[in-house]
Amino acid sequence: MHVQTFDTYDELSRAAADMVADQLRVKADPVLGLATGSTPEGMYTELRLMHGSGSLSFKNVITFNLDEYAGILPENPQSYHYYMNQNLFDHVDIPRDAINLPSADIDNALFGCQNYEDKIAELGGIDLQVLGLGLDGHIGFNEPGSAFDSRTRPVELDESTRQANARFFDNIDQVPTQAITMGIGTIMEARKILLLVNGEAKADILRRVLHGEITKQVPASVLQNHPDVTVLTDIKL
């Protein structure tokens, strides 16, 4: 894994946006894998600025998001659909039908997840997948113990993940217990991976991801097996 360390979150975010922008410029019809959460917010701000200044178009981009909470509808401000609209899609020239997120409809998850996988494959796979890192080492919502060959599926969220994400809800009881996530196998098939990690709280887990044993107990450690991973961080290791 190629690690780049920055002094500030803003520098990290600019570098992340530059990498995404490069990907958009080198391919006529790029397929991007996107993440939500606090970490990529700065990157989305930079991408909006680039678009606003006329230097970046999303006209030919196709996106697939990593995950969505089960049962949280797209209109709900806590949904990842809503997050993506607010942070990026409502502000750029991406066609609506080029945007893909897992459906929150867990009752039809079997069909929805297979559909998601098929669509990624039909479009030739993901060129660049952006990832954040959970405090427990998760990527997407692949919690510790997830199989390395797992595909898009419904999952139970760990209690620690619900606690970490409670800041986006009024209280912990409102945080869903289930989500739909791309699998680790799905993520690992992306041609390039960009892992963004910010804040001292993630120093220990980042060390284990980069230098520890490759184990299902630290899902992101599997990235050591991927041939093209760039890690952008503001943590001095």
Q: Which residues form the interface with ligand F6R (CB under 6 A)? A: 35-39, 66-67, 132-134, 138-141
Min CB(66)–ligand F6R separation in Å = 4
Active site residue 136: yes
71 by Cβ neighbours in 10 Å (0-12 / 13-18 / 19+) ranks as: middle
Please identify which of the residues 46, 67, 68, 234 carries the catalytic annotation: 67
**Residue 198 region, left (φ>0) first, then alpha (ψ -120 to 50), else beta?**
beta
Please identify which of the residues 11, 136, 156, 226 carries the catalytic annotation: 136
Q: Which is nearer to ligand F6R, 60 or 178 (CB)?
A: 178
Min CB(9)–ligand F6R separation in Å = 11
**Which residue of this chain has its Cβ atom nearest to ligand F6R in the complex?**
132
Min CB(53)–ligand F6R separation in Å = 26
Q: Which is nearer to ligand F6R, 23 or 142 (CB)?
A: 142
* Rg (alpha carbons) of the chain, rounded to whole number: 16
Residues 6+ apart with CB under 8 A from 146: 138, 155, 183, 184, 216, 219
Q: d(Cα 88, Cα 99) in Å, to the nearest integer? A: 11
Please identify which of the residues 46, 117, 127, 143 carries the catalytic annotation: 143
Min CB(55)–ligand F6R separation in Å = 26
Of 67, 227, 42, which Cα lies nearest the Cα of 134? 67
- Joined tokens for residue 237: 């290791």
Of 8, 9, 14, 84, which Cα lies nearest the Cα of 49? 14
Q: Which is nearer to ligand F6R, 112 or 134 (CB)?
A: 134
Of 120, 60, 65, which Cα lies nearest the Cα of 94? 60
β partners of residue 128: 32, 192
Active site residue 143: yes
Q: Which is nearer to ligand F6R, 45 or 60 (CB)?
A: 45
Min CB(209)–ligand F6R separation in Å = 12
Please identify which of the residues 51, 117, 127, 138 carries the catalytic annotation: 138
Contact between residue 82 and residue 89 where contact means Cβ atoms under 8 Å apart: no
Q: Which is nearer to ligand F6R, 67 or 117 (CB)?
A: 67
**Which residues are known catalytic residues?**
67, 136, 138, 143
